[in-house]
Amino acid sequence: MKILVTGGAGFIGSNFVQYSLREHSNDQIINVDSLTYAGNLENLAAVENNPNYRFVLADISDRAKLEPLFANGIDAIVHFAAESHVDRSILGPDIFVRTNILGTQTLLDLAKQYQIAKFVHVSTDEVYGSLGDTGLFTEQTPLAPNSPYSASKAGSDLLVRAYHETFGLNVNITRCSNNYGPYQFPEKLIPLMIQNALADKALPVYGDGLNVRDWLYVDDHCSAIDLVLRNGVSGEVYNIGGNNERTNVHVVKTILEELGKPDTLIHYVQDRLGHDRRYAIDATKIRTNLGWSPKFHYESGIRETIRWYLTNQDWMERVHTGEYQNYYDKQYDKR
């Protein structure tokens, strides 16, 4: 199979490219990424010389640049490229609409024109909004996004659905819970906290720290997407999650414990605007219909991830561009 992966230089995309080349040695991967602040080709150093891998620098909204790739023949698209950080979407939603909605629509249109056999759209449980103390998101849960990020992802989900209903495009939408693992940009909870703890800096935790997320190791997300790509039923949505609900402060305390740092580094800061209280996924459909199950246990996976960031501090250092630093200052240091 010749697979066009978008956003393959980001956190999950780069893990997926490596996963695919490892698991399917006959497949070819074309990675299209515009290398925003979150895209890092260093994440793909291990595969850059693989003859089945090719990188193309392009924006997913740039139809003219993408068209030759489609004209050369592609069997499937796995679409990760997105603006992905909720806090950034609160500071500046425009780019979220441009990339997540218009970019997705550009890809869908090309997929329709060139009759691409499968379009897998990688989405998020955040499109369902927030849960109370009980209950789980199923594929039937109504979309009720609360942040500009999740609203833009919900918009892209609906366009994907529409291209299936209207034009018969063979699509799947996956909605996964929070991922953790190597190569995550250090604005996200786990790498941010590891980095601050290592520097003995305050660990900024939103609100009372009791917001709940359902954590999944990134490789388990990749294996689920891979199954959907090969066996997903056209037009279906698949929720992906590992039943690992943890409060944010629990995750932060695990990091401190693993690094031998005191809880006094935790610094509760003003809550994120519109902060969803709880996400939790019912993954029965993908487990039952496609036979997926996660391999990694949260307690060992999170500790392995912490060790990865410890042994790859040079990676972390290099990710620290001026752009990221400006953003970081605006977000946390000035509170």
Contacting positions for ligand NAD (CB under 6 A): 6-7, 9-13, 33-36, 38-39, 59-61, 80-84, 99, 103, 122, 124, 153, 176, 178-179, 185
- Cβ-based nearer residue to ligand NAD, 59 or 282: 59
Q: Specify whether 125 is catalytic.
A: yes
The CB-of-100 to ligand NAD minimum distance in angstroms stands at 7
The CB-of-213 to ligand NAD minimum distance in angstroms stands at 9
Residue 326 tokens read as 């400006």
In the set 19, 53, 128, 149, the catalytic residue is: 149
Task: Find the distance separating the first CA and the last CA of the chain, reported in whole Å.
Answer: 49
In the set 33, 59, 83, 125, the catalytic residue is: 125
Residue 98 tokens read as 């441009």
In the set 33, 83, 126, 214, the catalytic residue is: 126
Closest CA to 66 of 117, 121, 105: 105
The CB-of-85 to ligand NAD minimum distance in angstroms stands at 7
Question: Which residue is closest to ligand NAD by CB?
Answer: 10
- Cβ-based nearer residue to ligand NAD, 34 or 172: 34
The angle, 0 to 180 degrees and rounded to 10, between the axes of the packed helices 189-198 and 248-259 is 40
Q: Specify whether 19 is catalytic.
A: no
Is 80 in contact with 10 (CB distance < 8 Å)? Answer: yes
Cα separation, 157 vs 180, in Å, equals 23
- Cβ-based nearer residue to ligand NAD, 261 or 309: 309
Closest CA to 20 of 76, 61, 60: 76
The CB-of-198 to ligand NAD minimum distance in angstroms stands at 21
Cα Rg for the chain, rounded, in angstroms?
A: 19
Is 24 in contact with 3 (CB distance < 8 Å)? Answer: no
- Cβ-based nearer residue to ligand NAD, 16 or 204: 16
122: left (phi over 0), alpha (psi -120 to 50) or beta: beta
Residue 280 tokens read as 């939790």
- Cβ-based nearer residue to ligand NAD, 6 or 170: 6
Q: Specify whether 323 is catalytic.
A: no
The CB-of-215 to ligand NAD minimum distance in angstroms stands at 9
**119-139: b (≥16 Cβ within 10 Å) or e:** bbbbbbbbbbbbbeeeebbeb
Active site residues: 125-126, 149
